[in-house]
Structure 1
């Protein structure tokens, strides 16, 4: 009886040892895509309360992060974009004016605020260009997300592999 028990135990050990599971973790998310929407000819006037609603071509996920950039100029290295909110001050340090935004799954609202908005040069109110960058939730939770500057559009573009040719352009 001892020999049969020993034989069954030996066969069981051999059988159980051959059952190994090699789990391969795939840390690459192949279906997460960042998007960029560009809105041109945006006017911020007293007639619209110095604000504009930038409607997305489709709804985003509630967990997505939305960044809004304003085109502030052109440099030797290309377009110069500033992340909203942005604030401008007089030389004495008091508030002059600024741009702010908020967003939902369907749109982003951009507003101009300050004390003498009607007195601002047209270049700060009319024909503005905004880029809305939608970053999926998966990207927000990566530990590497904190290692670059969200204020630098080119850094965001490089980190999230945003293709300039795939920017969805929307004329207001």
Structure 2
């Protein structure tokens, strides 16, 4: 009997010694939200490259939204890419982004970017959301598995994201 108790103690010690809550050491990940304030696009459409401050895990997905107004006291976030058109229906310009595992870039794509009005080119605010691609255990299982990624508030609900303390980048 003494040997069985000792065996269980050793197995328990080995099993629990592998557990950690340090997100920088183990392979789980959490959703992140980053605000990028006061983005100014130059006349060529460059809005700059910014570092996350951490490295994404393989499979993580980055979503970008632009603040486009306020409705009922909540910020309206429009998913990027977001395209503007001339009155005749041809494309004027598009807010776009790309990312690597350590940084992301915001930029404008289109023709005659030097004619984009200053109110659409300067002082822009973006929200970057990193959605974990490798750890489905953080997903709110009570919510339908389908999510409208164009709806910022649906995304944060789906991934249990607390956006009350968002990392700020200027």
TM-score (norm 1): 0.73
How far apart are the structure 1 equivalents of 2:164 and 2:49?
Answer: 24
Aligned partner of 1:22 in structure 2 is none
- Return the match for 2:76 from 66, 74, 80: 80
Aligned partner of 1:150 in structure 2 is 149
Aligned partner of 2:161 in structure 1 is 162
Cα distance, 1:140–1:92 mapped onto 2, change above 3 Å: farther
- Which aligned segments of 4 or more residues in structure 1 are displaced greater than 2 angstroms? 48-51, 138-146
Structure 1, unaligned runs of 5 or more: 1-29
Aligned partner of 1:52 in structure 2 is 48
After TM superposition, the structure 1 = structure 2 runs for residues 104-143 of structure 1, keeping only pairs within 5 Å, are: 104-138=100-134
After TM superposition, the structure 1 = structure 2 runs for residues 15-54 of structure 1, keeping only pairs within 5 Å, are: 32-46=29-43, 49-54=45-50
Aligned partner of 1:17 in structure 2 is none
Query: When the two structures are aligned, how many residues end up with a matched partner?
Result: 141
Task: Tell me the CA shift for residue 140 of structure 1.
Answer: 6.6
CA contact (8 A) 2:29 2:57 kept: no
TM-score (norm 2): 0.74
CA contact (8 A) 1:139 1:145 kept: no
How far apart are the structure 2 equivalents of 1:166 and 1:139?
Answer: 22
Cα distance, 1:89–1:145 mapped onto 2, change above 3 Å: farther
User: What are the superposed Cα offsets for residues 26-45 of structure 1, whole Å, 9 maximum, x if unpaired?
Assistant: xxxx9541110111011101
Structure 2, unaligned runs of 5 or more: 1-20, 22-27
- Return the match for 2:86 from 83, 90, 96: 90
User: C-alpha root-mean-square deviation of aligned residues, in Å?
Assistant: 2.4
